[in-house]
Structure formats: structure tokens, C-alpha cells
Amino acid sequence: MRARWGLAAMLLVLAPVCAEYLSGYDDSTGSPATLLGNLVIFVPLYGAPALLIRELARRYGVGWPGIIALAAAAGVVQAGVIDQSMFSQSYRGIDYWTALTEGTFIAPLGLSATTAIAFTTGHALWSFGAPIALTEAAGRSREPWLKLPGLLLAAVLYLGAAFVVLRFHLETETDHATPAQITGAAAVALALVVFAFTRGTRRAPARERRVPAPVPAGLIAFVLAGAFQFMPETWLGATGAVLLLALAAVLISWMARSSRWTMAHQAAMAAGGLATSAAAGFFSDPIGDVDPVARYIHNTAAVLLVLALGAVGMRRRAERTPASPAPAHR
């Protein structure tokens, strides 16, 4: 029980760290006190849904395609309904927001293709998917960690944090999502959830095929994620981002169906993807006035954290990661 609760606590903290802290984009960058204080809202906002996604998946036999679909659904809700950044043209007064959105703005939908792709993918992979993968690699990947009271507590924490963020947005921002936009975002999220619990539960038979060793696999993830993050804010960049996501999905699915695919591969690829976010922090321009020395210390610590987590997960080389584990109703 202590081990399961420890893993749950790890995911609760790791998800917000990956979502908000690795890239060092905010004015809290380099301020340990502020970073710790912000976890009061970020743990329920990111950690709780990450934990719920993981627990539901392991209880109902949802494999990794379904987990990513659930994570994408949570990302759509986060960016489209809760903080509504997906539909904003002046979010938090960020000076580069117009340049980020105007190149691929779709007027009938009131959103930018660039930010819609970036936010949905960012939450699905960086905020939820990769933290789940790394935490599972640390132990007990095939069984639920929490019982019903723990699940209810996570749900209540998430709903409370979502309410606080939504209220803050409505009180401080000028661009708000319309009812039609909120309905559309909710419909997309629902479709992703349906996919997760239908096609996402299908098992893919393991095949005898060679796959790269864990470290080269992690480097592949690093390169693909880096190319995705540095795509320009144009229609060419948006198209390239979609093609890269498709390529990554096909490549990872092909490797994961190998009988030689292990938890070490899962940990290495998750760490490789997160490492791009941490490394990108060295090139980002944080919001507000951030001390340059504190910023580089923050970015360096983020890279080292990701590498350490990947190294811990890669110790488990022998355990096969099933494409869709059997349901474990508890």
C-alpha cells in the first residue's frame, strides 16, 4: 500500500512539474518558493487528472493509444474550457501571443491551428502521457494504485482547481470562449474518451522484431519532439507538426508491438520527449522579469531531473509493456 501511494504521490507532483516548470516559460522560473507555492493549484489541476487517467486505464484495460486519447481529452478541456487559452488572442498579456496565433488563425472557429495543436499535444504528451510513463516505469505498472476513496478525492481536487482557474480567467481576461466554442471543445473531448474506451482497449499481438535499444529510442523521441516544438507558427509549420505526430505514432506503435519492447524503452522515450521541453527552456523568453542566472539554474535542474527520472525507469529492462493490459476492476 505504501508503494502504491508513493507512486500516486510521485505522479501527482511530476505531472505539474512537466506541464508548467520544465520549459521555464513563466515568471516563476528560478524562484523555488514560488514554484513550491504554485503546486497548491497545479497538483490538483495537472496531477489529479493524470492520476485519474492512469487509474481508469489500468482498471478497464485501456492501452497506451487509449491513455493518450484520454490525455488529449483532458488537454482539450484544459485549454478550451478551463483556462480558454485555445480561444484567446491576448492571453495573459503575453507580448508574443499575436505572433503565435495570427499566422494560422481560423476565423470561423475563433482559434489558431498552431496553438490548438500545440496545447492539445503538449498536454497529452508532456503534461500527462510522459509523467504517467515515467511513474509506471518506477514500479507496479500493471495494477491500480488507488481504491474508490482515493479516486473520488482526486476528482474533487481536480474539479476544485478547475473552478478556481476558470473563475480567475473570467475575472482577469478579456477574451472568453463562446458557448459554441465550449460546446465544440467538450464534444471533441467526449469523442476522444469514447475512442479510448472502445478502440483503445484492443490488444495488439506482440511480434518478434528488432527495436532500437532504450537509449537510441530515447534519442529518437528527443529529435522528434524537438522538431515538433520548433515548428514555425505558419500553416507550413502546422502541417509539419501534424505529419511529425503521425510519424511518431506509427513508429512508436511499431516498436511497442515488438516482444523486445520493455519498460526501459518506455522510460527512455518519455524522458527523451520531456528533455526537449527542458532543453527548450534555454531558448525561451520567460514571462515577466526573470533573473538570467536563476533562469539558467532552473533550466539546468530541469534537464538533470528528466535525465535522472529516465535513468531510474530504464533499470527495469526485463518487464514487457503490454499494448493493452487486461482489465483490473477493483
The secondary structure of 176-223, three-state, reads CCCHHHHHHHHHHHHHHHHHHHCHHHCCCCCECCCCCCHHHHHHHHHH
Q: Record the cell numbers describing residue 268, joined without a space.
A: 527512455
- Cβ atoms of 292 and 243 closer than 8 Å: no
Q: Percentage of residues in the chain with pLDDT exceeding 70?
A: 95
Q: Average the pLDDT over each of 3-7, 139-143, 256-260, 267-271 and give the range with the smallest value.
A: 139-143
Q: Which amino acid is at 25?
A: Y
Average pLDDT (245-264) is: 91
The pLDDT of residue 77 is: 96
Domain boundaries, the chain: 2-313
Spatial distance between the Cα atoms of 23 and 275, rounded to a whole number of angstroms: 9
Highest averaged pLDDT of the listed ranges 88-92, 94-98, 169-173, 180-184: 180-184
pLDDT digits (tens, 9 = 90+) for 105-126: 999 999 999 999 999 999 999 9
Average pLDDT (147-169) is: 94
96: pLDDT strictly greater than 60: yes
Q: Record the cell numbers describing residue 264, joined without a space.
A: 526501459
Confidence (pTM)? 0.90
Instruction: Assign 316 a pLDDT band (cuts: 50, 70, 90).
Output: low
Residues contacting 203, CB < 8 A, separation 6+: 63, 322, 323, 324
Q: Cα dihedral sign for 52, 57, 58, 63?
A: negative
The pLDDT of residue 142 is: 76
Q: Record the cell numbers describing residue 238, joined without a space.
A: 502546422
Residue 121 CB-density burial (10 A; 0-12 exposed, 13-18 middle, 19+ buried): buried
246: pLDDT strictly greater than 50: yes
- Cβ atoms of 282 and 299 closer than 8 Å: yes
Q: Record the cell numbers describing residue 226, joined without a space.
A: 524537438
Cα-based distances in Å from 303 to 210, 279, 309: 30, 6, 10
Strand ranges (E), 214-318: none
Q: Average the pLDDT over each of 78-87, 181-190, 230-239, 312-321 and give the range with the smallest value.
A: 312-321
pLDDT digits (tens, 9 = 90+) for 18-42: 999 998 888 888 899 999 999 999 9
